[in-house]
Amino acid sequence: MAIERVISADSGPDKEEQFNNVLRPKRLSEVVGQKNVVEKLSIAIAAAKKRGEPLEHILFYGPPGLGKTTLANVIANEMNAAIRVSSGPALTKQGDVMGLLSNISTGDILFIDEIHRLSALVEEFIYPAMEDFKVDFTVDSGLHAKTINFPLKRFTLIGATTRAGLLSAPLRGRFGMLYHLEFYTTDELTHILRRSAQMLELAYEVGTLEKIASRSRGTPRVANRLLKRVRDYAQVKGVGKLTSQIVDSSLKMERIDELGLDELDRSFLKALIQIYNGGPAGIEAIAATLGEERDTLEDVVEPYLLQIGFVRRTRRGREVTRAACEHLGLTMPQQKAQELPQPELFEEPQ
Ligand code: ADP
């Protein structure tokens, strides 16, 4: 059975989405971190406003929970534009896209999350919409099929993806601006938590927010989620105020360690060390061992383990590092020095 995680960076159930919406920055000046992206965006927005033109299409990519949806909403606010939100898996037919595009006004924003999951059919339908602001819509089928050329208002498409590599080259090429979102520093996450605590009217002792931030895997969504868990704990076990001891006990109960790793991270590393002798091991094999989706491991677990240098991705699969073994208190498996390289045929695409 899949391991339930407190720190999965998925947006999770609706209630959590409402919580996220409350805490979402509304203006560019409120966005913490991502300096490079924010700077470029503010120039692009100012220039587009000056010319009285819509923005070019924008692609945000990076692990979940780093602010792609937030930035799309911030851009809409800054441009005084309406935003329509959908996602790759939700747009299955041309008609779904037509529904969104046909009543869009000039300058409006269409946000498509998980854009790498658009079907080939829908993707091709979107190309002329992005490039020439028109679509060729097919009505009826078979002998009676007719293609209607439908002009659109100039809009801005904002795509978000955790996997830029899965985007087809023609789709990627139609975005004027591509921005990679990076993990946040502990200072930046503390700043975000300070704002969240203020909005939630939560009292806290000095140093407690830093502690939560340092265990949030560089991810604002995780930081806010942990804050919520710690707040609940403080209300039940304490007097509502975050103290160092409350934070420690609450995170211990959630089984989150000093580096912010949870059960699934540790299981991933332990499988690599104890079952695959430190690797290299293919992601499919690790996913099967853990009973987890490959996508969850690639989108949520691996990026942070790579970032902190606990895992290496090689052409032959994933390998664990000495630092990871030390963190878990396990001995580094003896590298099979004599092992012959595996044949190319079995190499995994990176
Ligand atoms: P993504 O779309 O990349 O999965 P979101 O935009 O949904 O991530 O961000 C998750 C949550 O994290 C938001 O609700 C917001 O509260 C917080 N957040 C993300 N980025 C920032 C940021 N730069 N500054 C402040 N809060 C942020």
CA of 32 to the centre of ligand 1 (A): 10
Closest CA to 215 of 98, 321, 304, 148: 304
Q: Determine the Cα–Cα distance for residues 182 and 36; give it in Å rounded to an integer.
A: 10
Residues in the chain: 350
What 8-state DSSP symbol labels residue 141?
-
CA of 221 to the centre of ligand 1 (A): 6
CA of 75 to the centre of ligand 1 (A): 13
Q: Which residues are catalytic?
A: 68-69, 113, 162, 221
Name residue 161's beta-bridge partners: 61
Mean pLDDT by 10 residues, the chain (350 residues): 56 68 90 97 97 97 96 97 96 91 93 96 94 87 82 96 92 96 97 96 97 97 96 94 97 96 97 95 96 94 97 94 96 64 47
Angle at 67 between CA 99 and CA 309, to 5 degrees: 130
Phi then psi dihedrals of residue 297, to 5 deg: -65, -45
Which pLDDT score is estimated for 138? 79
Choose one of 29, 70, 87, 184 to mutate for the ligand 1 pocket test, by most ligand atoms within 8 angstroms of C-beta. Answer: 70
31 Cβ below 6 A of ligand 1: yes
Which pLDDT score is estimated for 268? 98
Q: Which residues contact 101 (CB under 8 A, 6 or more apart)?
A: 110, 129, 135, 152, 155
Q: Which atom of ligand 1 is nearest to the CA of 195?
A: 25
Which pLDDT score is estimated for 167? 93
Which pLDDT score is estimated for 270? 97
242 Cβ below 6 A of ligand 1: no
Query: Domains of the chain by range and CATH?
Result: 15-180 (3.40.50.300), 186-253 (1.10.8.60), 263-331 (1.10.10.10)
Which pLDDT score is estimated for 1? 47
Q: Which atom of ligand 1 is nearest to the CA of 19?
A: 14
20 Cβ below 6 A of ligand 1: yes
Which pLDDT score is estimated for 336? 43
Q: Which residues contact 171 (CB under 8 A, 6 or more apart)?
A: 115, 118, 123, 126, 127, 159
Measured by CA distance, the residue closest to atom 4 of ligand 1 is 65
310 in Cβ contact with 324 (< 8 Å): yes
The reported pTM is 0.89
Structure tokens at 310: 């606990």
Measured by CA distance, the residue closest to atom 5 of ligand 1 is 67
Which pLDDT score is estimated for 21? 78
Structure tokens at 121: 């059919």
Structure tokens at 270: 């332990």
Structure tokens at 283: 């992601």
318 in Cβ contact with 310 (< 8 Å): no
Q: Determine the Cα–Cα distance for residues 130 and 55; give it in Å rounded to an integer.
A: 12
